[in-house]
Amino acid sequence: MTFPPRVPPFVCASLLLSIAIAGPSAAQSAKGDRSGEETYRVACAACHGADGRGAPQSQLGFDDPIPDFTECAFNTAEAASDWFAIAHDGGPVRAFSRKMPAFNEALSTAELERVVDHVRAFCDDPAWPRGDLNLPRPLVTEKAFPENEALLTTEIQAGSSREITNAIIYERRLGARTQWELVVPLAMQSSSSGSPWRRGLGDAAFAMKHVLFHSMASGSIVSAGGEVVFPTGKEDEGLGSGVMKFEPFISAGQMLGSSSFVQGQVGAEIPRVSERAEKEAFWRGAVGTTRVQGAFGRSWTRMVELTGVRELERGSRAEWDIVPQLQVSLSKRQHILVSAGVRIPVNEREGRHAQVLTYLLWDWFDGGLGDGWR
């Protein structure tokens, strides 16, 4: 599927002029009396069209592409707060075109919120989850929202057996509710201090995820998915398990107000050959809150995850870990993020050591690696 290029949601430099031309009704607008539809019709339709598909380039007087608000892949990708930030402070607040001016002095906060709601309503297909449900990504728990992302993850474990695993993860959305994912790990291991490092491909994986339910009214999203782990790593060198595994799971997310959230995941790990590995059940949960630097600046998300795993055989005990972590956005467009945390064993500590976990995330649907910085 081909997605439209990311461009500013409100590339309409004539908005202020349109408000001025509106005369007395503009004064009423400053009081927040006008509806989102009325504001859009008076101030935005000249550029974006009454139907939200955009006016012809020949009528605009500038070359910046105009987005099609009826294209749900574009319309629903981001949270309302990102649309509001651009409408309020202009395109540069998210490193978009300077032709998009700031409207905070021309329109009230209430009007800006209503016009954003009206523009987002141009996507009339309820199958598409809103970007507000795209909660911050935990280090371990699989989130429910389908994404277009690429990540570089790192796991570092000390102890008697030192391990470093880097993984390249590519995720692509299919339509409204589905996502596929490819994971390619590159592992390094040393069995003891001073021994040579063994390097090579780990066990690669392919996963699918599909949204079962989503609701902006309740702030909830639930997905089901599954992952197939292939024995591509060398088992005799400790770089792979030597057996194919299937991992069905269910993930859920719940907004808690405007800045806090909770996420959860439950699933199982089922080896293709039961004699080679044990069946396991796992459960993971994350709770967090996001703070924004200034009005629309860098986001800081603090999270804590609690994870558990238990072999599905009589007499086995669950192993619990806690994972405090911090995610920070790097680019002005907030499409490049970094996260780091420590996975700490809570019980059954014999033979288990703390792990440092990190990722560098690129939301490539929002632009290239070099885009969105200034």
Render pLDDT for 78-104 as a digit per residue (tens, 0 to 9): 999 999 998 899 889 999 888 777 888
Which residue range forms the structural domain that includes residue 33?
A: 15-120
Domain-terminating residue out of 95, 120, 145: 120
User: What is the number of residues in the chain?
Assistant: 374
Verify that 99 and 245 share a domain, yes or no.
no
Domain-terminating residue out of 66, 101, 120: 120
* 281, 308 contact by CB (below 8 A): no
- The larger pLDDT score, comparing residue 161 to residue 261, is at 261
- Residue 29 is predicted with a pLDDT of 46
Give the burial class of 270: count Cβ atoms within 10 A of its Cβ; 0-12 exposed, 13-18 middle, 19 or more buried: middle
* 240, 202 contact by CB (below 8 A): yes
pLDDT bucket at 247, cuts 50 / 70 / 90: very high
Structural domain count of the chain: 2
- Give the mean model confidence (pLDDT) for residues 98-115: 86
**Distance in angstroms (rounded) separating the CA atoms of residues 289 and 82:** 17
Q: Would residue 179 count as lying in a domain?
A: yes
- Residue 110 is predicted with a pLDDT of 92
- Residue 21 is predicted with a pLDDT of 39
Domain-terminating residue out of 68, 88, 120: 120
- Give the mean model confidence (pLDDT) for residues 334-357: 94
- The larger pLDDT score, comparing residue 231 to residue 6, is at 231
Contacts 24+ apart (CB under 8 A), 253-258: 253/133, 253/135, 253/143, 253/144, 253/145, 253/220, 253/221, 253/222, 254/219, 254/220, 255/132, 255/133, 255/135, 255/219, 255/220, 256/219
Q: Are strands 178-190 and 149-157 parallel, antiparallel or unpaired?
A: unpaired
Verify that 276 and 326 share a domain, yes or no.
yes
- Give the mean model confidence (pLDDT) for residues 249-254: 98
Verify that 142 and 109 share a domain, yes or no.
no
Q: CA dihedral in degrees (113, 117, 119, 124; nearest 10)?
A: 170
Verify that 136 and 112 share a domain, yes or no.
no
**Distance in angstroms (rounded) separating the CA atoms of residues 207 and 169:** 11
**Distance in angstroms (rounded) separating the CA atoms of residues 340 and 140:** 11
- What's the CATH number where 341 sits? 2.40.160.40
Verify that 161 and 249 share a domain, yes or no.
yes
Q: Would residue 126 count as lying in a domain?
A: no
Res. 3: pLDDT tops 50: no
Least confident of 278-282, 313-317, 368-372: 313-317
Residue 280 has, within 13 A of its CA and on its CB side, a CA count of 16
Q: Which one-letter DSSP state was computed for residue 14?
A: T
DSSP letters of 122-142? Answer: T---TTSPPGGG-PPPPSSSP
- What's the CATH number where 28 sits? 1.10.760
- Other CB atoms within 10 A of residue 17 CB: 12
- Give the mean model confidence (pLDDT) for residues 208-227: 98
Res. 162: pLDDT tops 70: yes
- The larger pLDDT score, comparing residue 132 to residue 195, is at 132
Q: Would residue 93 count as lying in a domain?
A: yes
